[in-house]
């Protein structure tokens, strides 16, 4: 469990945000899915996949040189993620969304677990492993409608290019509209909560800095200090997300309930 005095300060910042009708912005990374058993990209490279480099599996060049192998790798990862369940951290974030009218959840994860936990609006900076698009024109593709859905990979029904997962590979731009919305949310945040990210992958890692410069209070949840902790974080809640987030959310709900009762 995190230090209770720090937890209290974090709750206080969230209360102030709530009272002032401010905006709560959350940025999550791979750590939020840790207790769901989702391995990191590298941890997933076991057995059959142990000898491949990330550049072979998650770049445009890798796909072009061996489309079947990359397609099969994403099939394997998709199956792992599909069998996982959202954990208490995902659920606590879905609950927090119901408390704040101005709420934005930004994630670097591609695992869809926030949505499965009930989060309504999720800005996915790095895409979603359950979506597909074509390699040449980004046409969205639904596998259910494809005649050659079993192929590795199938072809786009519009332009016949290969179908690929709609995730951001190394060296690719982030989806510009999603990124714009994330930057604008960060600039307007009263509180930014960062959960389970090492803070080294840009541009996601610049969002907390941006929020801080615009006057937000920054709260971080992570078992270990990240690259962001010494520079932008006001309240560092040390511990696993699936323990700390429910504690934060229930302390906040309790305080808000008490305040409402005393005003009744």
Q: Which of 197, 208, 216, 220 binds ligand NAD (CB under 6 A)?
A: 197
Beta bridge partners of 123: 106
- The answer to whether 10 contacts ligand NAD (rule: CB under 6 A) is no
Please list the alpha-helical segments (H only) found in 161-263: 176-188, 206-213, 229-232, 241-263
The values of phi and psi at residue 244, to 5°, are -75, -40
| Known catalytic membership, residue 126 | yes
- The answer to whether 257 contacts ligand NAD (rule: CB under 6 A) is no
Buried b or exposed e, range 66-91, using 16+ CB within 10 angstroms: ebeebbbbbeebbeebeebebbbbbb
- The answer to whether 226 contacts ligand NAD (rule: CB under 6 A) is yes
Please, what is the minimum distance in Å from the beta carbon of residue 38 to ligand NAD?
A: 4
SS3 219: strand
Radius of gyration of the chain (CA): 20
Q: How would you classify the pairing of strands 103-107 and 127-134?
A: unpaired
Please, what is the minimum distance in Å from the beta carbon of residue 262 to ligand NAD?
A: 34
Which of 90, 126, 235, 263 is flagged as catalytic? Answer: 126
Q: Among residues 241, 258, 257, which one has the least CA distance to residue 92?
A: 241
Choose the binding region for ligand NAD from 13-21, 104-112, 132-140, 149-157 (rule: CB under 6 A): 104-112
The residue among 38 and 218 lying less far from ligand NAD, judged by its C-beta, is 38
The residue among 128 and 253 lying less far from ligand NAD, judged by its C-beta, is 128
Q: Which of 2, 22, 29, 154 binds ligand NAD (CB under 6 A)?
A: 29
Which residues are at the interface with ligand NAD (CB under 6 A)?
29-31, 33-35, 38, 40-41, 108-111, 126, 196-198, 201, 221-224, 226, 240-241
Catalytic (active-site) positions:
126
């Amino acid at each position: 469990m995190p230090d209770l005095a720090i937890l209290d300060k974090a709750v206080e910042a969230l209360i102030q945000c709530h009272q002032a009708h401010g905006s709560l912005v959350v940025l999550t990374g791979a750590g939020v899915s840790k207790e769901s058993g989702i391995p990191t990209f590298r941890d997933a490279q076991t057995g059959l996949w142990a000898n491949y480099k990330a550049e072979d599996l998650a770049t445009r060049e890798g796909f072009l040189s061996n489309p079947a192998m990359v397609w099969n790798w994403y099939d394997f990862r998709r199956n792992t993620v599909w069998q996982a369940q959202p954990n208490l951290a995902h659920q606590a974030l879905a609950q927090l969304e119901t408390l704040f009218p101005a709420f934005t959840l930004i994630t670097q994860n591609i695992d869809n677990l926030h949505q499965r936990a009930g989060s309504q609006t999720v800005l996915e900076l790095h895409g979603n492993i359950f979506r597909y698009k074509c390699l040449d024109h980004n046409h969205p593709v639904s596998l259910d409608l494809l005649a050659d859905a079993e192929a590795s990979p199938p072809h786009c029904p519009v332009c016949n290019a290969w179908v690929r997962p709609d995730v951001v590979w190394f060296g690719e731009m982030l989806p510009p509209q999603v990124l714009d919305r994330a930057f604008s949310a960060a600039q307007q945040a009263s509180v930014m909560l960062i959960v389970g990210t090492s803070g080294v992958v840009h541009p996601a890692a610049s969002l907390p800095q941006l929020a801080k410069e615009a006057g937000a209070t920054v709260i971080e949840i992570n078992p270990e200090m990240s690259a962001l902790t010494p520079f932008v974080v006001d309240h560092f809640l040390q511990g696993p997300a699936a323990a700390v987030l429910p504690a934060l959310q229930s302390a906040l709900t309790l305080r808000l309930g008490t305040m409402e009762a005393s005003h009744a």
